Structure 1
Amino acid sequence: MSHPLAASSDGSWLNDPAHRAYLIRDAQRQLDFFDASLGQDGGLVTLDFTGTPLAGPQELITTTRLVHSYALAQIAGRPDNAGIIDRGMADLWTRHRDAQHGGYAWGVDENGITDGLKLAYGHAFVLLAAATAKQAGHPGADRLLADVSDIIDRHFWDDSVGLMRDEFTRDWQPFSTYRGMNANMHSVEAMLTAYEATGDMLYLTRASRILDFFVGRMAPAENWRLPEHYTDTWQIDRAYEGNPMFRPAGSTPGHSFELARLLLQMWDVSGRDGSDALVQARQLVDRALDDAWDTARGGFIYTLAADGSVARDARYWWPVTEAIGVLAALIKLDPQPQDEVWYRRLWAFADQHLIDHARGGWFPELAADNSKAMDQFTGKPDIYHALQADLFPLVPTLSHSAKALAGKKPLAERLL
């Protein structure tokens, strides 16, 4: 391995100075790599493995995740010398925001909107970017937060069921009856962050209602696997298969890790009430670890059929990062021996196979022999998942991570 993961095997790695220095170093190298996301002609771009900008329109997911990630890093004390936050916030307001119909377009370029689809998934990330930018003190955060919250109120939030509708045309015409877990899960993430940024209870109430449906109702009924796809009456649609990255058929174990961490964040920020959040989180995590870890090659299987058998055996970086995040949360809250074993196993796997020690950033996809693959992705699609895997274990909290990251010393000076 290129860098020591920890100085010794004694105690928890979360408290090991060498491991913490490793996390900070990887975060810094990721940020150094993704500084090149500021395109020469304006806008934010995706990068190939070497950090060279890739051609194509600017997507909402790229803009929002970069703003969120760089705002977190700025809060932690790493200056945004590349100007990613300012550029991204400007692009959200002047490029992605649809001045004619309202809402935020999925694809844009220097000439305007290239893909006017209005997705709950994309708007959840606009809310996340605005909320994190607000915590970083960005002057454009309040107007963006107010605008996207209004759009969510008027078009996406279905108060009759306490869940998000998924998709509309550019002029807000419904064109499908699809409902999905992914957009709702990321809406929970955004709403919890917006609550932490503003104190507005509406965000917290809505996040709770979404979690109640998926964790309180669906997961127990499905042996703690989370069905991804639903009809407009919120019946499971097991036959559905859409985009192979965002809407693959079956269940996605990586989302169980992510939702479990958000459940613990919700429980923590709500005052650690008498709910079953910890038990439920462990059920989700244990099921996903048992179902999806590839014992021969390492990494997590991407999707499963309803009976838990393998549906798509592709292995991506982001389920590893999300498992790291929730295991760190469990270690902080209720450490069990297996949590530490898994936490170390996942970092060892990431260090050996996913982290680009030569240039920075993480490789997104592995071939059968654990070499780099490019079947689903071209280049390194974003910094969001992997940066959070570095930063969240550094703080002692389960919620208000941005506040906890705001230390007295800049991130660059915290290397040991």
Structure 2
Amino acid sequence: MLPVFRSSQFLQQHVLALSEFYQEHAIDPSGGYFQALLPSGEAQHDSVKQLVSSTRLAYIFAHVGLREQNKAFLDLAEHGFSYVENHHFDPQRQAYNWLIDGDCPIEQTNYCYGLAFVMLMYSAAVKVGRSSAKQQLAATFELMEQRFWQQEWGLYADEASADWQTVSDYRGQNANMHACEAMIAAYEATQESRYLHRAITIAQNICLRQCYSTDGLVWEHYNPQWQVDWEFNRNDPKNLYRPWGFQPGHQTEWTKLLVMLSRHHSADWLLPCAEKLFTYAMEKAWDHQYGGLYYGLAPDGSVCDDEKYFWVQAESFAAAALLATATGKQAYWTAYDSLWKYSWQQFCEAKHQPWWRVLSREGEVMDPLIASPGAKIDYHTIGACLEVLRAMQA
């Protein structure tokens, strides 16, 4: 018998079960979190720490701790905040180390994507009352403005060398999407209008201006003049951070963000755009034979990557619930139930366990780790449940 996926009790139970798994198995007593875990909880590559996983777990512990009024989770959030502050941050470079092995930085390339998650983490630190957090949030925002913001385009560049001297020609929507997410969180934590204004600017430029030449859909890759690059990574469609093709999961992740923005901003384009992106993903990328959303679609609408990723399903059920509560349309709850049913049976194996990272089209587990290097921890799944709970209660 299936759970009632729209039940707040079910969602709370799922959030707690996942959070308690990380509480039990992911805490590195020497600092930070173990980021590659087997289903048994055994840590792999235990000395390697990646910036996005470090910030995401701290963010999750903070928000679950706040929701549950659980001091143990809040203490684990502080464990993560201090690690990012003292180990990932390099005061000499005024930058964050992307990858650390023990105390040794092993990759120092600067990514806007990484700074977005530092901002997201410090927004959570503000909410839990960390004394220095508001200043650290502001400092990270200023760093992004100084190093990546391109005023003439109203968007962020993507990547810079370790010494900040060279900015890559690559432009991508993904870093901007997560920057938008961070700005919304920063605004909700501080009520400072500059963060909301920046979020609106990013959303409008990605979801309206940049979509003029892509039939209203969000493409991933651009050249320095923000023109669509249809060929980037065409021969590497499974690239971890920059896959080729339309990403159904990013259409629905933008859906979620646009609905979140509509709580604070009354622009009349937000909800129609959110609905269009979500409808495209569900109509074009739903696997009617095996269930779930495909990972990638080619520009002609054909499937270019038929694997099923955990974060795509999670972001999509969150988007469905937010649209349902914002519009009152029952069809979105129906989509929510379908996404959860597939995820519960395939990614969770019908129990409150950390989700598998990636499945084949037919449902075969493709990665034996349930937390793996490259930011693949349960940030999307826990965060999606928290957003659905928030929407329901609102």
Instruction: Settle same-fold status: TM greater than 0.5.
Output: yes
Structure 2 residue identity aligned to 1:216: L
Q: Say yes or no: does 1:121 pair with 2:102.
A: no
In structure 1, what is the Cα distance between the partners aligned to 2:284 and 2:311? 17
Deviating above 3 A after TM superposition, structure 1's stretches of 4 or more consecutive aligned residues are: 356-359, 377-380
Deviates more, 1:282-291 or 1:138-147: 138-147
Deviation, 1:274, is 4.5
In structure 2, what is the Cα distance between the partners aligned to 1:138 and 1:356? 38
Q: Deviations over 1:37-88 (max 9, x none)?
A: 1114322111222211121520001111011111110120252526421121
In structure 2, what is the Cα distance between the partners aligned to 1:344 and 1:225? 24
Kept in 1: contact 2:184–2:261 (CA 8 A): yes
Deviation, 1:357, is 5.3
Q: Deviations over 1:192-223 (max 9, x none)?
A: 11111112221111111111112112335322
Kept in 2: contact 1:57–1:114 (CA 8 A): no
Deviates more, 1:298-307 or 1:184-193: 298-307
Q: Say yes or no: does 1:5 pair with 2:3.
A: yes
Q: Deviations over 1:232-272 (max 9, x none)?
A: 110111110167121011111100101111111112112xx
Kept in 1: contact 2:66–2:128 (CA 8 A): yes
TM-score w.r.t. length of structure 2: 0.92
Residues 356 and 145 (structure 1), Cα distance of their counterparts in 2 relative to 1, 3 Å cut: farther
In structure 2, what is the Cα distance between the partners aligned to 1:147 and 1:108? 22
Q: Say yes or no: does 1:263 pair with 2:258.
A: yes
Gaps of at least 5 residues in structure 1 are 7-12, 405-416
Structure 2 residue identity aligned to 1:277: L
Gaps of at least 5 residues in structure 2 are none
Q: Deviations over 1:4-55 (max 9, x none)?
A: 422xxxxxx64xxxx2211111111000111121114322111222211121
Residue 207 of structure 1: aligned partner: 199
Q: Say yes or no: does 1:189 pair with 2:172.
A: no
Residue 358 of structure 2: aligned partner: 365
Q: Say yes or no: does 1:74 pair with 2:65.
A: yes
**Greater relative CO (CA pairs within 8 A, separation 6+):** 1
Residues 303 and 50 (structure 1), Cα distance of their counterparts in 2 relative to 1, 3 Å cut: same
- Secondary structure at the residue paired with 1:114? strand
Structure 2 residue identity aligned to 1:20: S
In structure 2, what is the Cα distance between the partners aligned to 1:379 and 1:24? 21
Residue 338 of structure 2: aligned partner: 345
Which structure 2 residues correspond to residues 218-257 of structure 1 after superposition, within 5 A? 218-241=210-233, 244-257=239-252
Residue 15 of structure 2: aligned partner: 27
Which structure 2 residues correspond to residues 56-95 of structure 1 after superposition, within 5 A? 56-81=47-72, 83-95=75-87
Deviates more, 1:304-313 or 1:179-188: 304-313
Residues 343 and 31 (structure 1), Cα distance of their counterparts in 2 relative to 1, 3 Å cut: same
- Secondary structure at the residue paired with 1:297? coil
1:132 to 98, 115, 124: 124
Residue 10 of structure 1: aligned partner: none
Structure 2 residue identity aligned to 1:249: W
Structure 2 residue identity aligned to 1:41: S
Aligned length: 384
In structure 1, what is the Cα distance between the partners aligned to 2:170 and 2:383? 30
- Secondary structure at the residue paired with 2:210? helix
Q: Deviations over 1:259-307 (max 9, x none)?
A: 111111112112xx24121111111110111111111111111111112
Residues 213 and 39 (structure 1), Cα distance of their counterparts in 2 relative to 1, 3 Å cut: same
Kept in 1: contact 2:208–2:216 (CA 8 A): no
Residue 408 of structure 1: aligned partner: none
In structure 2, what is the Cα distance between the partners aligned to 1:220 and 1:160? 18
Structure 1 residue identity aligned to 2:324: I
Kept in 2: contact 1:224–1:287 (CA 8 A): no
Deviation, 1:142, is 2.4
Q: Deviations over 1:154-198 (max 9, x none)?
A: 101112211001111111022520000000000000001111111
TM-score w.r.t. length of structure 1: 0.87
Kept in 1: contact 2:90–2:97 (CA 8 A): yes
In structure 1, what is the Cα distance between the partners aligned to 2:77 and 2:148? 26
Residue 413 of structure 1: aligned partner: none
Q: Deviations over 1:287-329 (max 9, x none)?
A: 1111111111111111111121111111101111111111111
Kept in 1: contact 2:286–2:292 (CA 8 A): yes
In structure 1, what is the Cα distance between the partners aligned to 2:180 and 2:329? 27
In structure 1, what is the Cα distance between the partners aligned to 2:335 and 2:88? 40
In structure 2, what is the Cα distance between the partners aligned to 1:197 and 1:274? 22
Q: Say yes or no: does 1:49 pair with 2:44.
A: no
2:328 to 314, 319, 335: 335
In structure 2, what is the Cα distance between the partners aligned to 1:207 and 1:187? 8
Kept in 1: contact 2:324–2:330 (CA 8 A): no
Deviates more, 1:116-125 or 1:233-242: 233-242
Residue 389 of structure 2: aligned partner: 394
Kept in 2: contact 1:356–1:363 (CA 8 A): no
